[in-house]
Amino acid sequence: MAERPCVLLHGWGMCDQVWEAVPAAVWEGLAPQTLALPGHSGIPLPAGRADLEGWTEDCLARAPQAAIWLGWSLGGLIALAAALQSPERVQALVLVAASPRFIQAPDWLAAMPEQTLDRFHAELLTEPQETLNRFLALQVRGGSEPQSTLRRLKQAIAAAPAPNPRALEIGLEILRQVDLRSRLQEIRCPLLWVLGGRDALVPVRVGERIAELAPRAQVQVIPDAAHAPHLSHPQPFGANLNALVSRLRP
């Protein structure tokens, strides 16, 4: 049986090389294609819109015509937007440590306080490298074997060109402004949502809300994982992914 193309989108401040740290067995039955977000890993920023729609159009232009889309964190928002914008091109959607709204609201408390993102934005302007390091530490906080996961993240980042500072700012604004909760019901392709039970950035409680907003979605929680379950817990992550692939039509 031919392998299915699978687009892999990384998170904020990360790089496409981060997927190289995931064991090959995770991608059984898949032909993974890493796709760097605009302004990351040497990819130029698009000349058009500096927002979610603009970044999604840029990623669609570089992606296969039909594929499974797998997005981690900020990459999850891009993957979700791609499924809404070009549903005929997204065969299935896998969202990892992602949320349709990353910032808290009165009716959405399972999210990051806006003040936390404001602090990241302010510090990014004065201490860019220190800010990225603090963000890396947040991604592994609370998970099992955090130092091992952190080491792999740092190794991947060190092997890639530094992200464009403007891309980092745009990425934070996307995380701040985007709210796709009301559009989840439009997703018609198979949808798998993978969350870490100890995630300090996307609280696991978001899974309960996803089940309400998108009843067709499969929500899987990896209890001991933080914000990078594909790196810290590749076996259960791969099992969830492989189960989704096996259910897709040939």
Q: What is the DSSP letter of 72?
A: E
Is 224 designated active site? no
Domain of residue 97, CATH code: 3.40.50.1820
Q: Which of 22-26, 65-69, 71-75, 124-128 has the lowest mean pLDDT?
A: 124-128
Residue among 40, 227, 230, 233 flagged as catalytic: 227
Question: Is residue 59 a contact partner of residue 158, using CB atoms and an 8 Å limit?
Answer: no
Residue among 10, 199, 230, 233 flagged as catalytic: 199
Is 144 designated active site? no
Distances (CA, A) of 230 to 73, 105, 217: 12, 28, 19
**pLDDT higher than threshold 60 for residue 117:** yes
For 129-182, the pLDDT digits (tens) are 888 888 888 888 887 888 888 888 888 888 889 899 999 999 999 999 999 999
Split into its structural domains, the chain has a count of: 1
Q: What is the mean pLDDT of residues 64-76?
A: 97
CA gap 2, 31 in Å, rounded: 9
* Tokens linked to 229: 């379950």
Helix (H) or strand (E) holding 157: helix 146-158
Domain assignment of residue 163, given as a range: 4-247
Q: How confident is the model at residue 127 (pLDDT cuts 50, 70, 90)?
A: confident
Question: Is residue 167 a contact partner of residue 4, using CB atoms and an 8 Å limit?
Answer: no
Q: How confident is the model at residue 77 (pLDDT cuts 50, 70, 90)?
A: very high
C-alpha closest to that of 3 among 24, 19, 23: 24
Is 58 designated active site? no
**pLDDT higher than threshold 60 for residue 1:** no
Distances (CA, A) of 173 to 16, 87, 170, 219: 21, 25, 5, 26
DSSP 63-75: S-SSEEEEEETHH
CA gap 31, 29 in Å, rounded: 7
Average pLDDT taken over every residue of the chain: 93
From its phi and psi, is residue 83 left (phi > 0), alpha (psi between -120 and 50) or beta? alpha
Residue among 73, 99, 230, 233 flagged as catalytic: 73
Q: What is the mean pLDDT of residues 31-41?
A: 96
C-alpha closest to that of 237 among 4, 45, 1, 8: 8
